Amino acid sequence: MRIGYIQMNPIFGAVKENLAHVKLLMEGAQAELWVLPELFSTGYQFRTGEEAAGLAEPIPNGPTVRSLLEIAGQRGCWIVAGLVEIGPDGRLYNAAVLVGPDGIVTRYRKAHLFYKEKLWFATGNEPFPVVDAGPARVGMMLCFDHLFPEAARTLALAGADVIAHPANLVIPEYGQLTMRVRAIENGVFTVTANRIGTENRDSETLRFTGESQIVSPTGEVIAKAPRDQEEVQVVEVDPAKARDKSLNQYNDRFTDRRPELYRI
């Protein structure tokens, strides 16, 4: 299975342009599963809740998901991507969707909000999803969820072979390092699609750290983007490699767990 990331520099508020840019970037490569950054169609640094609401869209009937569905249908692929969702009750969520050639497959609402996201977004309260996407079982989490090992563990225990991780990481090296550990401890592939560039729409400048990566179940970084350039990368993987959790003839990542001793 060919899986890939798109590392890009979204233009704040320019949904149409960002969608057109992603379409163009994808034309240079073929993959069955693509992962795009968190909030890739809007940018990240909102000034107010009203501004975030003005860029929010319902799922699936908004411009971002419609455009992703069109691309997935035309290219016969699956796409995981982050966007601002407005729910039926008017609440805003930092969300991700997984769309496929036959329509929308599932949605995820970020469970661990980072920094000022807490000012605009409601906290996601739904389970971490794992769904079939072609030959792989794909789980989703968003950016700062990386710091909470329970998120990736939950996805792995639910059967994820690949963890799709749209991101807008700002702390250098944290997410890239933790996701390597998440891959090793859970024996899964991880695909972190991060963004690059800066936003300074506020009193502070946010610098996004790039270095999108794909990690194998043994922790090998099999693709890695630069810190400050857009990049499209696709690698061939066998998702079934994530189904054997053994380390040697005596140890297995899952059956050796001692949940009765864990106080969480």
Catalytic residues: 38, 110, 143
Query: Would you give the end-to-end CA distance of the chain in angstroms?
Result: 35
As measured in angstroms, the least distance from the Cβ of 190 to ligand ACM is 15
Q: How many Å separate Cα 263 from the centre of its chain?
A: 28
- From 78, 120, 144, 189, residue interacting with ligand ACM (rule: CB under 6 A): 144
Cβ closer to ligand ACM: 145 or 161?
145
Q: What is the DSSP string of 73-140?
A: HHHT-EEEEEEEEE-TTS-EEEEEEEEETTEEEEEEE-SS--TTHHHH-PPP-SPPPEEEETTEEEEE
The upper half-sphere exposure of residue 55, i.e. CA atoms within 13 Å in the direction of its Cβ, equals 28
As measured in angstroms, the least distance from the Cβ of 42 to ligand ACM is 13
As measured in angstroms, the least distance from the Cβ of 112 to ligand ACM is 7
Q: Which residues contact 223 (CB under 8 A, 6 or more apart)?
A: 4, 5, 212, 213, 214, 233, 234, 235
Residue 161 CA to residue 88 CA, distance in Å, equals 32
Binding mask 154-193 for ligand ACM (x = CB under 6 A): --------------xxx-----------------------
What are the φ/ψ torsions at residue 182 (nearest 5 degrees)?
A: -60, -40
Asked if residue 3 binds ligand ACM (CB under 6 A), the reply is: no
Cβ closer to ligand ACM: 69 or 95?
95
- From 59, 133, 143, 156, residue interacting with ligand ACM (rule: CB under 6 A): 143
Give the type of residue at 103. Answer: G
Q: Where in 103-132 is the site for ligand ACM (CB under 6 A)?
A: 114
- With b for 16 or more beta-carbon neighbours within 10 A and e for fewer, the 175-214 pattern comes to bbebbbebbbebbbbbbbbbbbbebeeeeeebbbbbbbbb
Cβ closer to ligand ACM: 138 or 143?
143
Q: How many residues bind ligand ACM (CB under 6 A)?
A: 7
Q: Where in 220-249 is the site for ligand ACM (CB under 6 A)?
A: none
Binding mask 27-56 for ligand ACM (x = CB under 6 A): -----------x------------------
Cβ closer to ligand ACM: 71 or 143?
143
As measured in angstroms, the least distance from the Cβ of 174 to ligand ACM is 9
Residue 14 CA to residue 41 CA, distance in Å, equals 7
Which residues sit at the interface with ligand ACM, rule CB under 6 A? 38, 114, 143-144, 168-170
